[in-house]
Structure 1
């Protein structure tokens, strides 16, 4: 793509000022992944990929840029108004960098709805961007695990999606006492507001958004916001009491309107039996800010005193696919940011000690043995061994030290004697022992077996 006029001017200015020093600092809220960082991310993602496949989920992906109206229609008001990165392309189309994956997922499923085998079990780990204040557990650029299931029985889907959410944390080392899954149902609060408190329908969406951020407000601030929505003090008090009720109390309170609460109790009872009552909790204050949620909603909370916060969450969205002109197709899912799970592992002591995965280093003695060293490296790689070849000449001892630093188990080389006798020599770094192997298939196989045993 050709540079714009502004881009050409900037390029010209830089070329004219040879002393210009570019900053090494990246854009605020983004990250550089140095090899150690990437190694940890790969470790976590490999655990997640294995877990998702064990549940039968298939990986998918989508574009990082979508038409703005997709998010305007299907993302939360906070994301669209305050956090969206939007711009116009050269065709004067208004686009946005994806802040979340669910609208793209719904668009993709709707586009091939009749062709897809049901139930649809999909997951993805896309990169997203939101313009918000960077803080612990929250950045502007982040990866987000998205797990969704469509086209099955809602009870079974809801149970499965939360079981997979629990297992995501367990697969990186978590125990049941480390976290809680707080569960609610949008129908419960809707029934209470409409049928018990008689809140006008036009105020319910605004009140739900207020309840979603209630934990960030003081009691007085919450009361003031309730007054703005025309709630009396008695109604505010009743709402507070409701938010501190058990599922059994709410079923009794809602009476003829208790169907959503009864549905949720069935899910909670099943999940407790399948996991632990330490983990599964009913929490009527859980709302989730996205407008597309229609049924069960949940959030997973870290219980560690140094990280007591919501890690991730999700819920049921029964009307999302039909919005694209397709047939009704109910779904449920969740999104989990990579920053949150890394912080969770860190505070609980679950971060592994990861090293560069080098099996063997080949060493050289002079300019004349370059080709023989490279041939030996090729043979070792053909065995499936991670093999580093030398790209600089240094003393034998220095090459041994470098091999130890990268975590190699052995060094291998061919000196004059090994070339004459058609062998190669191996020095085992842990013991210092040296061994000679035939430069034939039998010798390489023996070396491979011993290395894998160490």
Structure 2
């Protein structure tokens, strides 16, 4: 017998999920729903429409349009029963570009779309980064680049503010791919074959030491003088960059326009020029940006994005300039936690209906049904317990009131209400006017 029990224990399934994924218990789901509701409100206020796409795509879509790092190291790929090579989406942008290209001539411009898909990447789980995550994607196509760039950053700022953030708690760092390309090409005379590798090195510059950065630059054929010039460039203001680039400073001048407008609109210093912001994705061609948490315990990049003028055209349609960004749900939840912005959320129950015995089952179900017809969130009793215990459970559920019918209420065609915030009790008639009086008072609490 003991051996049988031991075998059963060994055969039990693990309660742990796949590493890098999460279980969303009701309290976790409430917070997630709260944040997403804020996001939806912000996006709709700017005129963006929600879309979605498949969780799997043909592998070649990501091979062509995602970064080399994602495809080589982080992609979950597999063959289906028809021997087609597919991949679980690691990001939404390639799917978005495919969808836009498929109906490009039918869509009214500008195209303002957003989505919050679940994505997966095979990487080492750590704070702010998991293997499975939801990611807000906001994209804008078919407008004037200056106006698009300003608007897209404003939406990002407003998303953070919608969960309670202030301007002092984050910084939006902006750059332009054309600026660094012009500097490397015209000022340092770097070979065009080396520039993509150097951009990837610059993208991870803040994650490596100065010694390692210097060594890696040497491997890319930069001498000490060029490395020194590069360091000076990466620590220059936008005004200094314009002077450094001289006749090649058009992109820098255009970026300064965007920064000036954003500073005027946000009335703060949360927008900052940072020539070291690169963004690792190969499809970015213009302005790029990252949003950083200023809290010392979470001083890291939260999310970012940029302009990709050639992405849609790669599917055979007309070129359609666009800009967008992705914000992971893990990052924004960590941001909220760091700044004590996480609300304490209860169940969204309005009323709990109570029971005294087996005899009042039908009465309690009837009144529960009637109240739900008034768009009230009602928990009907499905277990029988003492009256005090039922009250305690109602308070835990976040209910504003409990409703019940004792002997007196049954005899006089009434229902009783106990208001949980005050402890007061009153009765209402079992008829339309009585229900409406109760609903009116309930909504005023």
Fold conserved between structures, TM > 0.5: yes
Give the TM-score taking structure 1 as reference length: 0.95
Q: Summarize deviations over 1:294-330 as a string: whole Å, max 9, x none.
A: 0000000000111100000000000000000010100
Report the CA distance between 1:266 and its aligned residue: 0.7
Q: Distance in 2 between matches of 1:154 and 1:278?
A: 23
Provide the residue aligned with 1:172 in structure 2.
163
Deviation sequence 1:13-62 (CA, Å, 0-9, x none): xxx97861100000000000000000000000000000000000000000
Match of 1:408 in 2: 399
Could you tell me which residue of structure 2 aligns to residue 118 of structure 1?
A: 109
Q: Of residues 224, 228, 243 in structure 1, which corresponds to 2:234?
A: 243
**Deviations for 1:347-403, whole angstroms, at most 9, x for unmatched residues?**
111111111111111011111211111001011111111111110111112111111
Q: Are 1:424 and 2:415 counterparts?
A: yes
Counterpart check, 1:203 vs 2:194: yes
Corresponding residue for residue 223 of structure 1: 214
How far has the Cα of 1:431 moved from its partner? 2.3
Contact 1:412-1:424 at 8 Å conserved across structures = yes
1:253 to 244, 249, 273: 244
Match of 1:5 in 2: none
1:304 aligns with 2:264: no
**1:355 counterpart = 2:346:** yes
Pick the aligned partner of 2:94 from 103, 107, 128. Answer: 103
Counterpart contact for 2:167–2:268, Cα < 8 Å: no
**1:236-262 CA-partner distances (Å, limit 9, x unpaired):** 111111100111111111111111101
Q: Please, which of 211, 216, 223 is the counterpart of residue 232 of structure 1?
A: 223
Shift of 1:277: 4.0
Work out the CA distance in 2 between the residues paired with 1:130 and 1:18.
33
What do residues 400-435 of structure 1 show as CA deviations (whole Å, max 9, x unaligned)? 111112121111112233223221111122222221
Please tell me whether the aligned partners of residues 147 and 333 of structure 1 are also in contact (alpha carbons under 8 angstroms): yes
Query: TM-score, length-normalised on structure 2?
Result: 0.97
Aligned partners of 1:47, 1:344: CA distance in 2, in Å?
A: 15
What is the number of equivalent residue pairs in this alignment?
439
The partner residue of 2:387 within 396, 409, 415 is 396
Alignment match, 1:193? 184
Matching residue of 2:282: 291
Cα drift, residue 228 of structure 1 = 1.0
Equivalent in 438, 441, 446 of residue 432 of structure 2: 441
CA distance in 2, matches of 1:401, 1:95: 51
Retained in 2: the 8 A contact 1:176–1:276? no
> Are the counterparts in 1 of residues 117 and 134 from structure 2 also a CA contact under 8 Å?
yes
Moved over 6 A (4+): none
Q: CA deviation at 1:453?
A: 1.7
Structure 1 distance, partners of 2:422, 2:167, is 42
Q: Is the 8 A contact 1:180 1:302 kept in 2?
A: yes
Structure 1 CA distance for aligned equivalents of residues 442 and 227 of structure 2: 69
Answering whether residue 308 of structure 2 is matched by residue 317 of structure 1, we say yes
**Among candidates 50, 53, 59, match of residue 59 of structure 1:** 50
Which structure 1 segments of 5+ residues have no match? 1-15
Aligned equivalents of 1:432 and 1:329: distance in 2?
A: 62
Supply the RMSD in Å over aligned alpha carbons.
1.1
**Which of the residues 7, 17, 25 maps onto 2:16?**
25
Structure-2 separation of matches of 1:19 and 1:204: 55
For residue 78 of structure 1, give the secondary structure of its aligned residue in structure 2. Answer: helix
Written as runs of structure 1 = structure 2, the 5 A alignment for 1:71-110 is 71-110=62-101
User: 2:299 aligns to what SS in structure 1?
Assistant: coil
Aligned to 1:10: none
Paired residue for 2:270?
279
Counterpart position of 2:373 = 382
**Are 1:48 and 2:42 matched, yes or no?**
no
Deviation at 1:276, TM superposition (A): 3.3
Q: 2:428 aligns to what SS in structure 1?
A: strand
CA distance in 2 between counterparts of 1:431 and 1:276 reads 44
**Matches of 1:135 and 1:432, distance apart in 2:** 47
